[in-house]
């Protein structure tokens, strides 16, 4: 019998990479896929994935659901639920390429959907909360259904396989995005399966992660009080929900969010200027259960930007570089040089120091 996440523990790194155009210029998925090649040995073929922003300009006002189905009967059940809640503007199978490196694929569909106004009004919810709840429901209540992407004008593409093969499988050279993130997986603790590959997304926020967080259960217990259900038993899922909770529901800024999840040591806070001390102490006291400990380097993707962050001890590597309008982030400098050999301003951000890159105002749809 095949084991899923949580049914087996495999004690065992990962690779992350990202590129963003500050001018909002759209790039195909070829470069980001190439960037994963020099880091091939950081993954073991049990998960690869990409998040792409700005890829669906024709449906930019609808939520784009990417869904894995185990079979057609759960697809029928899922679609019945979606039709009750949403107006489905466009429905199709996600085009893939049959390649020997990627096997055992589930049914992979996408839906461009608008929440039904009448239902939205009667539930007194904003549309983001409405979508988040629908996704939580589908992922926990209908067996065989896994919604792995649900933002506007963006999408996650992931599979079991090496990331460069996953890019070919999903024909990423046919998509154009102003921002790409990528992940190559070497699963720690749990086996690889399609839903467990990175990026993890909720609404337009996605996370790719290299590391293994030791605060997972403390973080999970806290975040589950707010309606998030951690069904995948993987640490990246909880980081995704923490980001959603702090940014969307608590309204924190990105740098405040970074100061919560990678909070400086009290001894470091004591050395900061007074105002900064107060800010950092306030955030640590308000959200002590959302401090994420253990090694991590993550890239958080969102509409119009990216944030890269390391754990406060910097137990995982991360390099940032620039060239013209582009900013590159990766686990290794070699990955960046694969995308842009003549890159400039290469540096490694300190642990807990967020690198926030935004596309200039109005340059993305």
- In whole angstroms, how close is the CB of 338 to other proteins at the nearest point? 6
The Cα–Cα gap between 27 and 54 comes to 10
Residue 30 interacts with other proteins (CB under 8 A): yes or no: no
Rounded least distance, CB 318 to other proteins, Å: 10
Q: Does 268 help bind other proteins (rule: CB under 8 A)? A: yes
**Neighbouring-strand partners of residue 108:** 68
In the bound complex, what is the minimum distance in angstroms from residue 34's beta carbon to other proteins? Answer: 10
Q: Is 211 helix (H, G, I), strand (E, B) or coil?
A: strand
The catalytic residue among 14, 78, 150, 230 is: 14
DSSP-derived secondary structure letter, 161: S
Structure tokens at 9: 């523990």
| Cβ–Cβ < 8 Å for 158, 47 | yes
Residue from the set 14, 20, 39, 260 that interacts with other proteins by CB under 8 A? 39
Residues 124, 323: Cα–Cα separation, whole Å:
46
- When the beta carbons of 286 and 334 are compared against other proteins, the nearer one is 334
Question: Of the ranges 39-47, 100-108, 117-125, 202-210, which one interacts with other proteins (CB under 8 A)?
Answer: 39-47
Q: Of residues 335, 339, 357, 359, which one binds other proteins by CB under 8 A?
A: 335
Touching other proteins, residues 298-317 (CB under 8 A): 313-314, 317
Does position 346 bind other proteins by CB under 8 A? yes
Q: Give the residue, chosen from 55, 243, 280, 338, that forms a contact with other proteins under the rule CB under 8 A.
A: 338
- Which among 43, 41, 51 has a CA at the least distance from the CA of 307? 51
Of the candidates 155, 141, 43, 77, the residue with the CA atom closest to the CA atom of residue 110? 155
Selected from 351, 354, 355, 357, the binder of other proteins by CB under 8 A is 351
Q: Which is nearer to other proteins, 231 or 317 (CB)?
A: 317
Of 144 and 295, nearer to other proteins (C-beta) is: 295
Rounded to whole angstroms, the Cα distance separating 180 from 309 reads: 16
Binds other proteins by CB under 8 A, chosen from 337, 354, 357, 364: 337
Residue 326's DSSP bridge partners are 21, 323
Residue closer to other proteins, measured from CB, 271 or 360: 271
Give the C-alpha separation, 211 to 310, whole Å: 10
Min dist CB 121 to other proteins, Å, is 52
Residues 315-334 that bind other proteins (CB under 8 A): 317, 319, 332-334
CB of 14 to other proteins, least distance (A): 14
A 10 A CB-CB count for 88 gives 15
**Whether 150 is catalytic:** no
List of residues 6+ apart from 263 with CB closer than 8 A: 280, 283, 284, 291, 312, 352
Residue 91 binds other proteins, judged by CB under 8 A: no
Handedness of CA 243, 204, 238, 249 (dihedral sign): positive
In the chain, the largest separation of any two C-alpha atoms, in whole Å, equals: 60
Query: 76, exposed or middle or buried, with CB in 10 Å at 0-12, 13-18, 19+?
Result: exposed
Is 12 a binder of other proteins (CB under 8 A)? no
How far apart are alpha carbons 101 and 160 in whole angstroms?
Answer: 9
Size of the site for other proteins (CB under 8 A): 20
Answer yes or no whether residue 41 interacts with other proteins by CB under 8 A: yes
| Min separation Cβ 149 and other proteins, Å | 29
> Which of 1, 122, 274, 350 forms a contact with other proteins (CB under 8 A)?
350
CB atoms within 10 A of CB 153: 23
Q: Any idea which residue has 């006291």 for tokens?
A: 285
Give least dist CB 41 to other proteins, A. Answer: 7
Site membership for other proteins, residue 119 (CB under 8 A) = no
Active site residues: 14
Residues in touch with other proteins (CB under 8 A): 38-41, 268, 271, 313-314, 317, 319, 332-335, 337-338, 346, 348, 350-351
């Amino acid at each position: 019998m095949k084991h899923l996440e949580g049914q087996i523990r495999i004690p065992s790194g990962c690779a992350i990479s990202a590129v963003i155009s500050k001018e909002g210029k759209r790039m195909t998925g070829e470069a980001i896929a190439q960037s994963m090649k020099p880091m091939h040995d950081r993954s073991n073929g049990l998960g690869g994935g990409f998040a792409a922003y700005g890829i669906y300009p024709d449906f930019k006002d609808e939520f784009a659901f990417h869904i894995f189905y185990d079979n057609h009967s759960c697809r029928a059940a899922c679609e019945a639920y979606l039709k009750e809640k949403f107006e489905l503007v466009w429905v199709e199978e996600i085009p893939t390429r049959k390649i020997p490196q990627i096997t055992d694929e589930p049914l992979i569909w996408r839906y461009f959907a608008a929440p039904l106004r009448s239902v939205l009004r009667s539930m007194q919810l904003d549309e983001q909360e409405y979508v988040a709840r629908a996704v939580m429901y589908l992922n926990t209540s209908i067996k065989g259904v896994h919604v792995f992407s649900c933002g506007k004008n963006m999408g996650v593409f992931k599979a079991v396989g090496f990331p460069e093969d996953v890019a070919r499988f999903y024909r990423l050279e046919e998509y154009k995005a102003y921002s790409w993130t990528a992940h190559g997986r070497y699963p720690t603790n749990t086996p690889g399966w399609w839903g467990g590959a990175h990026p993890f997304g909720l609404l337009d926020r996605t996370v790719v992660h290299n590391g293994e967080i030791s605060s997972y259960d403390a973080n999970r217990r806290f975040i589950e009080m707010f309606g998030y259900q951690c069904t995948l038993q993987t640490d990246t899922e909880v980081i995704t929900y923490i980001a959603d909770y702090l940014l969307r529901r608590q309204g924190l800024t990105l740098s405040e969010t970074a100061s919560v999840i990678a909070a400086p040591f009290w001894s470091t806070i004591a050395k900061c200027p007074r105002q900064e001390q107060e800010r950092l102490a306030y955030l640590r006291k308000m959200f002590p259960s959302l401090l994420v400990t253990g090694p991590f380097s993550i890239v958080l993707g969102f509409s119009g930007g990216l944030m890269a962050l390391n754990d406060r001890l910097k137990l995982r590597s991360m390099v940032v570089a620039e060239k013209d309008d582009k900013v590159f982030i990766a686990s290794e400098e070699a990955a960046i040089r694969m995308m842009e050999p003549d890159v400039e301003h290469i540096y490694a951000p300190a642990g807990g120091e967020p690198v926030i890159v935004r596309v200039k105002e109005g340059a993305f749809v």
